[in-house]
Structure 1
Amino acid sequence: MKYCRQCILPDTRPGVSIASDGICSACHGHEDKENKIDWAARAEAFQVIIDDAMARSDGYDCIVPVSGGKDSWYQVIKAREFGLNVLAITWKTPARTEIGQKNLDDMVANLGVDHLDYTINPDVERRFMKAAYEGVGATGLPMHMALFAIPIRLAVQMRIPLILWGENPQLEYGGNEIERLATKLDADWLAKHGCLQSTSWRDWVGKEGLSEQELAAYRVPENPGFDVRSVFLGAFFKWNSYENTRIAEEHGFSYQAGDRKTGTWEFADIDCDFISLHHVTKWQKFGITRAFDNLSVQIRYGQITRAEAIETVRRLGTQIPEEDVQKFCAFQGLPESWFWEVAEKFRNTKIWKRIDGVWQIPGFLIEDWNWGQ
């Protein structure tokens, strides 16, 4: 594993590469945000998109996919600032938290938007999550497939000309130069990214007995017949998770200080009891935890030093969300041993080695790491 000399991300993380200067693509993306992108020109380009959407709309001007989290609050606030008539759409997690429901309710009331809460048959969700976890080690794949497909399909069916997504992940978390400067979420982006493991709904037909009909909610229209523009808001306005949280809080977004399951951000991953599981197998697959992502962003924002980030990772350890693992296994009707047996299947032996009978990562970022934790 090679680590960025500026943040703490390794080259094992998907999308991250280390350049000849020793700096990762995510840090170079941050440099693009600060020095390369003409944000005034991007704002003007966004206004052209808004004008086109309003000219073509017949009711709702745009869809904003929302979870109720800080970023989706920011997206709706920004859309309302531009005078857009917003339809907010949510894929409803089968494990929504109390604070997640509260934030959705407050968003609708405080920001004045219409809202659709899209619930998929929980048994279909359960079987799809099991198939995805056992097949590719990603409990969150069905979630991502649904939250991308549902807004796109409804935009086509309801003839809503624009979808406003959040950040461009390749700009924020690592991608090549072309991907970092992209402004739209299109079919090519979905095929390559979107946490879909380069799969489509068709690849899951027959797994755990899933039928084509049961997977309807996960399908993106292939021949839409109506042109929907689908863009990253973070490609037109500089994205900052801390600033987004501040703005969202001013309008009523809330979170519980000190209530953190994984990582270092108390204001993130609070809407669903299963979202933390999406980060668990990063340890087996890539040799990182959620904290590596959060702390690397904080380094780029100038909030902490690299040395402080390393010390924080040492202090936090692997941050296993035991309670969420228990809830997920109960949802599946399976023992916790099943969860960890599946996780073990995805241990990346290119980086993990058995040393004195214990799995370890030679050359790990922290020399005195407790491998027994």
Structure 2
Amino acid sequence: MNPLHRQPPRACARCLYTTWHPLGLVLDEEGVCSGCRVHEEKQTFDWERRWKALETLVEPYRSKNGQNYDCIVPVSGARDSFFIVHTVKQLGLNPLLVTYNKLYNTDLGIRNLARLRTVFDADILTFTANPDTVRRITRATLRRLGSIYWHCLAGQTVFPVQTAVRFQIPLIIWGAHQGLDQVGMFSHEHQVEMTRRYRKDHDLMGLEAEDLVSEFDHILPRDVLPWTYPSYDELQRVGVRGIYLGNFIPWDTRRQHEQMLAAYGYESAAQTRTFDLYNDVDCFNYSDVHDHLKFLKHGYGKATDHAVRELRWGRLSRAEAAQTAREWQNHPPQHLDAFLDWLGITRSSFQWITDQHRSPALWQRDTNWQWQQQIDLLDLPVSAKQQQKQALPSSHNLAHITTPSKRPDYSDDHYICIGKGTPCR
């Protein structure tokens, strides 16, 4: 059993998160979670002073002779890539963009990535692992962790570090830190930076690349090299460090996306299991099969994450956020067949494996052998008095910008490898 599930879950009086959040959070004496409290810092900090601190921090990393890049910026065809690169350019830096090919690429994501490197006139380095190796690793992590996304998280968090070592570019610039922005694991004051320990414990669910070597899964030591973190000596030799812009800017991904959409004209898109039209539109699986598995394991999905974000920024009330998350969290994945065809397993095999990873605290079979949810984390009791006291003003604004497709006649129904639209077989 998940150690978090040994005690009954308690909900934050302000947002929708509970003490069963997999990243861990705490409630204070007023019933408000650490994530909401750290979010309050965005309303009170002197961000102009922090921007100046960021300018001072990056200054020593400028290439002295102009013969190298100033920093590395991890990007994709979605998330906050446009805003991050825009900000780095505002700092006057010359970045090397790097991207890890997840293989689950949508055509829209490929288009956005092409537009990103074009409008910013930036060089980009892309890493594509052997698809056969990725399949073997994905079968192993699905069986061991109930995760189809381990290779993506591992690749996205290690390829920039490997590139920093290889090209001797010490500074990596990331966007927001998930542990800070979601659950208040840190304060903005801490100016926390990238660490291998956080990557292993949270991004990789406790499993390093070396731990995947297995005769059973036909994974050899050489197979996991693309996901292996550089040694301490290599990092020290180059002086690699990774900073998060979210420590220096009051991070609001929705507002930032809407500014960047207006400025650079990339594309948004509807997704399967969340109302958000901006994040992760480059991937068939993140807000689809991957999010479905997250719901089975943890009792909530991306719609809850996004609703909490909107609630904290005062764009939804708590009741509106809960209703919105509930409307989306039971949507079945639409791209499961494409994933199973790519992975080479049957639907019944997938179902059997995923059932092993359902939280027994959240799911039980009924007399007809059907799974029933035992606890609805969106419906935990919070006193009306507490809710009223902690409620934030709300503008009741859920509207996102829907952009017209730049390929309206194209059927985006198969994974695409980076290149000339090559299917990932």
The answer to whether TM tops 0.5 is yes
Structure 2 residue aligned with 1:196: 204
Give every structure 1 segment of 4 or more consecutive aligned residues whose post-TM-superposition deviation is greater than 6 Å. none
Structure 1 residue aligned with 2:143: 134
Which one of the candidate residues 309, 333, 358 is aligned to 1:347?
Answer: 358
Instruction: Give the Cα–Cα distance (whole angstroms) in 2 for the partners of residues 217 and 288 of structure 1.
Output: 31
CA positional deviation for 1:177: 3.9
Instruction: Give the Cα–Cα distance (whole angstroms) in 1 for the partners of residues 19 and 225 of structure 2.
Output: 36
Instruction: Give the Cα–Cα distance (whole angstroms) in 2 for the partners of residues 33 and 16 of structure 1.
Output: 21
Instruction: Give the Cα–Cα distance (whole angstroms) in 1 for the partners of residues 255 and 111 of structure 2.
Output: 21
Which one of the candidate residues 354, 371, 378 is aligned to 1:365?
Answer: 378
Instruction: Give the Cα–Cα distance (whole angstroms) in 2 for the partners of residues 158 and 315 of structure 1.
Output: 47
Which one of the candidate residues 14, 21, 27 is aligned to 2:36?
Answer: 27
Instruction: Give the Cα–Cα distance (whole angstroms) in 2 for the partners of residues 70 and 287 of structure 1.
Output: 23
How many residues are aligned here? 363
1:254 aligns with 2:266: yes
Structure 2 residue aligned with 1:219: 228
Structure 2 residue aligned with 1:295: 307
Using the size of structure 2 for normalisation, the TM-score is: 0.80
Q: Secondary structure at the match of 2:345?
A: coil
State the one-letter code of the partner of 1:301. Answer: W
CA positional deviation for 1:64: 0.5
Structure 2 residue aligned with 1:43: 51
Q: Secondary structure at the match of 1:214?
A: helix
Q: How does 1:220-299 map to 2 (within 5 A)?
A: 220-222=229-231, 223-224=233-234, 225-257=237-269, 259-276=270-287, 277-299=289-311
CA positional deviation for 1:306: 0.7
Instruction: Give the Cα–Cα distance (whole angstroms) in 1 for the partners of residues 57 and 295 of structure 2.
Output: 40
**Root mean square deviation of aligned Cα:** 2.1
Structure 2 residue aligned with 1:370: none
CA positional deviation for 1:316: 2.9
1:330 aligns with 2:338: no
Using the size of structure 1 for normalisation, the TM-score is: 0.91
1:124 aligns with 2:133: yes
1:4 aligns with 2:12: yes
Contact 1:351 1:362 in 2 (8 A): yes
CA positional deviation for 1:253: 4.4
1:71 aligns with 2:71: no
- 8-17 vs 216-225, which deviates more? 8-17
Structure 1 residues 46 and 256, CA, compared in 2 at 3 Å: closer, same or farther? Answer: closer
Q: Secondary structure at the match of 2:40?
A: helix
State the one-letter code of the partner of 1:247. Answer: Q
State the one-letter code of the partner of 1:260. Answer: Q
Q: Secondary structure at the match of 1:115?
A: strand
Structure 1 residue aligned with 2:317: 305
Q: Deviations over 1:237-281 (max 9, x none)?
A: 111111221232134243345x22111201112101122332212
5+ residue gaps in structure 1? 368-373
Contact 1:170 1:180 in 2 (8 A): no
Contact 1:168 1:180 in 2 (8 A): no
5+ residue gaps in structure 2? 1-8, 381-425
Instruction: Give the Cα–Cα distance (whole angstroms) in 1 for the partners of residues 107 and 70 of structure 2.
Output: 30
- 355-364 vs 208-217, which deviates more? 355-364
Q: Secondary structure at the match of 2:99?
A: strand
Q: Deviations over 1:286-317 (max 9, x none)?
A: 11122111101110011111111222233334
CA positional deviation for 1:3: 1.6
Structure 1 residue aligned with 2:393: none
Q: Deviations over 1:187-231 (max 9, x none)?
A: 2332333x2012211101126211121211111111212112211
Q: Secondary structure at the match of 2:206?
A: coil
Q: Deviations over 1:134-164 (max 9, x none)?
A: 1111111111111111110111110112111
Instruction: Give the Cα–Cα distance (whole angstroms) in 2 for the partners of residues 250 and 311 of structure 1.
Output: 30
Instruction: Give the Cα–Cα distance (whole angstroms) in 1 for the partners of residues 193 and 131 of structure 2.
Output: 31
CA positional deviation for 1:356: 5.4
Contact 1:73 1:253 in 2 (8 A): no
